[in-house]
């Protein structure tokens, strides 16, 4: 509360007010949450990296972390059974000694010996089972719950609800029947159906192990997780600062050369001035400062750009019949009328590249150019539109998307190109309720979609997005169904090894290319500027994040 000090009158009231003000001053100063104690940052013997973290990071529990910032922190605090090669994104065994299967349905995972969590507990088969069961159990409402859909026994752990959301059937099981701890270091996983990409999934944050002490006190663990990785969390002053330091008892080889990491939390992209002032080691400018940062010769010499697997694409409600977009020629016309490069250069310069495929070229199985009609050709577009029967004059094409300034500008540019090249009038409809409306199939027009893969495999761009197994209704978001597509996916799932699986999944992508249900637009770039104190910035092409274990402190 405010205390107003009366300026000149000396009587008791004023003095009292003054004393109160001073007391307030003193208590506020003393009660400062000064646990962020890196006031002496001269390096000394402790090499410290200073990074920015989003202020809305609200948990560090791997079972509940599915957002970039959380995942980035957990990548140094935990080790997964497999890790992904920073350049090719191919998985390799890390905590796992071996992962074997004969039929892609039953997987035997052997874990390396003598690995421990930072609290001394062993990293064994039980620690993985414990974490996976916690995530898969429906009532825990963990963000990574759906990753366990493919494992036997998942459905029994969800229970059922009626349309009003009332629980009609409680979950029958608290553990995945398909996960068996054979012995201390051996885990046997049985899937509901063969899936060749299962071992690829195991590097994801949702599959990290959990110590018993973590499950016993989940709340404390969300704040200060007990990990098995090279760094342990020292302290988290939530909303302000997160610090981690290197473990002395860490046995595996992937350890960076610095000793401490200090994450300061910022709202949105407001960390840029701190990076410019030299307080942070990695940073990216907000859109307004983009040009200035790129024109600065010193800064742009310390910049790394990498194309990521983040796809933006245009969808159509194929579940509605008798619409212009039912006809493939119409969709081709739309795709060829869009000058993707020009839109990127105008709205989000250097921040994206045009997409020519449904799968990101940067991950295993992805290849640029699978989309034949993703090139800009206004004449061919007009011809295709003609072939499709034209666009009824006066009719307006609705374009739906979520509320976001940059996306709205981007799709306005797309709409303008359609109007210019095809004479189609459009109306942009941004909505807060975008996700709900899309799954409720409320759209009557084109809509923006975005896909960020869960694991680096081309299958993840295909099956979760387009597969349904429902010939009558097609998949929820698009109403798409093609028996050849489903067949190729199934054959890939059952393929004897990962390379033949990838080849089969590529066939599925070719079916998509033939059917052309959606229009790929662009893949995002990840751009990072770095300070003079660090080197060897490697951006992971799958996550778009800087690989902290590759980062070198050069002081």
List binders of other proteins among 33-62 (CB under 8 A).
Answer: 33-40, 55-56, 58-59
Stretch in the footprint of other proteins (CB under 8 A) among 270-278, 295-303, 500-508, 528-536: 270-278
Q: Which parts of 456-485 interact with other proteins (CB under 8 A)?
A: 464, 476-477
Which candidate, 375, 352, 73, 104, places its Cα nearest to that of 227? 73
Q: Which residues of 139-171 are buried (b: 16+ CB within 10 A; e: fewer)?
A: eeebbbbbbbebbbbbebbbbeeeeeeeeeeeb
List CB contacts of 241: < 8 A, sequence separation 6 or more.
35, 36, 235, 262, 263, 264, 265
Stretch that binds other proteins, among 123-131, 154-162, 186-194, 331-339 (CB under 8 A): 154-162
Q: Which is nearer to other proteins, 72 or 256 (CB)?
A: 72
Region near other proteins per CB under 8 A, out of 68-76, 87-95, 431-439, 537-545: 431-439
Q: Which is nearer to other proteins, 324 or 453 (CB)?
A: 453
- Does 439 participate in binding other proteins (rule CB under 8 A)? yes
The CA R_g of the chain, rounded to the nearest whole Å, is 27
Residues 521-550 that bind other proteins (CB under 8 A): none
Site string for other proteins, 159-198 (x = CB under 8 A): xxxxxxxxx-------------------------------
Is residue 239 classed as helix, strand or coil in its secondary structure?
coil
CB of 551 to other proteins, least distance (A): 23
Among 65, 118, 135, 158, binds other proteins (CB under 8 A): 158
Q: Which of 452, 510, 549, 550 forms a contact with other proteins (CB under 8 A)?
A: 452
> Does 7 engage in binding with other proteins (CB under 8 A)?
yes
Min. distance of Cβ 74 from other proteins in angstroms?
16
Among positions 43, 184, 257, 278, the unique one binding other proteins when judged by CB under 8 A = 278
Residue 412: CB minimum distance to other proteins, A: 22
Q: Considering only the stretches 183-191, 196-204, 429-437, 518-526, report the one whose residues sit in contact with other proteins under the rule CB under 8 A.
A: 429-437
Of the chain, the end-to-end C-alpha distance in Å amounts to 45
Pairing state between β 446-451 and 396-402: parallel
CB atoms within 10 A of CB 535: 13
Q: Does 555 bind other proteins (CB under 8 A)?
A: no
- Binding string, residues 90-129; x marks residues near other proteins by CB under 8 A: ----------------------------------------
Subset of 368-407 contacting other proteins (CB under 8 A) = none
Nearer to other proteins by Cβ, of 75 and 265: the residue is: 265
Please give the sequence-ordered ranges of beta strands (E in DSSP) within 217-364, or none if there are none: 231-237, 241-246, 260-266, 282-283, 303-315, 352-354
**CA 351 – CA 355 distance, rounded (Å):** 13
User: Nearest approach, Cβ of 5 to other proteins (angstroms)?
Assistant: 7
User: Least Å distance between CB 531 and other proteins?
Assistant: 13
Annotate 39-100 with three-state secondary structure. Answer: CCCCCCCCCEEEEEEECCCCCCCHHHCCCHHHHHHHHHHCCCCEEECCCCCCEEECCEEEEE
| Binds other proteins (CB under 8 A): choice among 240, 396, 420, 554 | 240
Kindly state the smallest distance separating residue 164's Cβ from other proteins, in Å: 5
The answer to whether residue 435 forms part of the interface with other proteins (CB under 8 A) is: yes
Q: Residue 327 and residue 402: Cα distance in Å, rounded? A: 26
C-beta of 100 vs 470, nearer to other proteins: 470
Extract the runs of DSSP E, i.e. beta strands, from 299-384: 303-315, 352-354
CA–centroid distance for 49 within its chain:
23
Q: Mask 219-238, x = binds other proteins (CB under 8 A)?
A: x--x--------------xx
Which of the ranges 101-109, 155-163, 301-309, 504-512 carries the binding residues for other proteins, by CB under 8 A?
155-163
Look at residues 132, 252, 195, 198 and name the one whose alpha carbon lies nearest to residue 492.
195
Nearer to other proteins, 319 or 452 (CB): 452
The answer to whether residues 431 and 408 touch, using CB atoms and an 8 Å cutoff, is no
Q: How many CB atoms lie within 10 A of CB 114?
A: 8
**Which is closer to other proteins, CB of 69 or CB of 241?**
241
Non-local CB neighbours of 120 within 8 Å, separated by 6+ positions: none
Element (H, E) at 428: strand 425-431
Applying the rule CB under 8 A, the residues between 327 and 366 that interact with other proteins are none
Does 305 bind other proteins (CB under 8 A)? Our answer is: no
Least distance in Å: CB of 446 to other proteins?
A: 17
Q: Measured from the CB atom, is 286 or 496 closer to other proteins?
A: 286
Binding flag, residue 445, other proteins (CB under 8 A): no
Distance in Å, CB of 219 to other proteins, minimum: 6
Residues 16-35 that bind other proteins (CB under 8 A): 21, 24-25, 28-29, 31-35
Q: At what angle do helices 405-422 and 328-336 cross, to 10 degrees?
A: 110
Give the separation between CA 175 and CA 308, rounded to whole angstroms: 36
DSSP state, residue 157: G
Interface stretch with other proteins, choices 183-191, 263-271, 345-353, 410-418 (CB under 8 A): 263-271
- Residue 442 beta carbon to other proteins: minimum distance, rounded to whole angstroms: 12
Binding-site member from 239, 389, 469, 496 for other proteins (CB under 8 A): 239
**Alpha-carbon distances of 340 from 273, 346, 478, rounded to whole Å:** 32, 10, 22
Total residue count of the chain as it appears in this document:
555
């Amino acid at each position: 509360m405010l205390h107003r000090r009366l300026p000149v009158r000396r009587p008791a009231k004023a003095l009292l007010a003054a004393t109160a003000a001073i007391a307030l001053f003193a208590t506020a100063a003393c009660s400062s949450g000064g646990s962020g104690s890196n006031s002496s940052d001269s390096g000394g013997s402790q090499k410290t990296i200073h990074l920015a973290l989003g202020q809305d990071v609200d948990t560090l529990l791997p079972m509940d972390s599915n957002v970039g910032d959380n995942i980035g922190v957990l990548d140094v605090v935990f080790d997964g059974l497999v890790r992904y090669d920073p350049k090719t994104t191919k998985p390799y065994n890390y905590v796992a000694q071996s992962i074997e299967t004969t039929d892609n349905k039953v997987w035997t995972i052997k874990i390396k010996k003598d690995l421990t969590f930072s609290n001394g507990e062993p990293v064994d088969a039980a620690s993985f089972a414990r974490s996976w069961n916690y995530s898969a159990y429906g009532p825990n409402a963990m963000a990574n719950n759906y990753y366990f859909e493919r494992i036997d026994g998942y459905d029994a752990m969800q229970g059922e609800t009626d349309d009003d959301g009332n629980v009609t059937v409680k979950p029958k099981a608290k553990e995945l029947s398909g996960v068996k701890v054979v012995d201390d270091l051996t885990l046997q996983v049985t899937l509901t159906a063969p899936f060749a990409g299962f071992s690829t999934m195991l590097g994801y944050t949702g599959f990290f192990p959990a110590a018993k002490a973590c499950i016993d006190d989940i709340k404390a663990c969300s704040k200060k997780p007990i990990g098995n990785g090279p760094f342990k969390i020292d302290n988290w002053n939530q909303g302000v600062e997160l610090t981690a330091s290197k473990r002395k008892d860490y046995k595996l080889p992937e350890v960076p050369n610095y000793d401490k990491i200090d994450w300061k939390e910022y709202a949105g992209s407001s960390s840029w001035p701190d990076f410019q002032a030299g307080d942070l080691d990695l940073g990216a400018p907000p859109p307004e400062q983009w040009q200035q940062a790129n024109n600065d010769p010193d800064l742009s010499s310390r910049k790394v750009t990498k194309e990521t697997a983040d796809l933006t694409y245009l969808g159509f409600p194929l579940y509605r019949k008798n619409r212009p977009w039912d006809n493939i020629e119409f969709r081709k016309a739309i795709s060829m009328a869009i000058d993707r490069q020009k839109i990127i250069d105008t709205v989000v310069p250097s921040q994206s590249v045009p997409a020519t495929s449904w799968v990101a070229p940067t991950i295993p199985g992805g290849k640029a150019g699978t989309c034949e009609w993703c090139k800009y050709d206004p004449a061919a577009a007009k011809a295709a539109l003609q072939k499709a029967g034209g666009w009824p004059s006066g009719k307006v094409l609705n374009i739906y998307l979520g509320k976001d300034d940059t996306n709205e500008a981007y799709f306005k540019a797309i709409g303008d190109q359609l109007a210019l090249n095809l004479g189609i009038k459009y109306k942009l409809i941004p909505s807060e309720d975008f996700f709900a409306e899309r799954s409720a199939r409320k759209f009557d027009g084109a809509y923006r979609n975005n896909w960020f893969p869960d694991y680096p495999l081309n299958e993840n761009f295909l099956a979760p997005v387009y597969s349904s197994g429902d010939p009558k209704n097609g998949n929820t978001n698009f109403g798409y169904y093609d028996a050849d597509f489903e067949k190729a996916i199934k054959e890939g799932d059952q393929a004897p090894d990962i390379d033949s699986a990838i080849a089969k999944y590529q066939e599925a992508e070719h079916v998509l290319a033939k059917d052309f249900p959606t229009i790929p637009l662009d893949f995002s770039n990840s751009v990072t500027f770095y300070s003079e104190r660090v080197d060897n910035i490697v951006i992971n092409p799958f996550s778009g994040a800087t690989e902290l274990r590759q980062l070198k402190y050069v002081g």
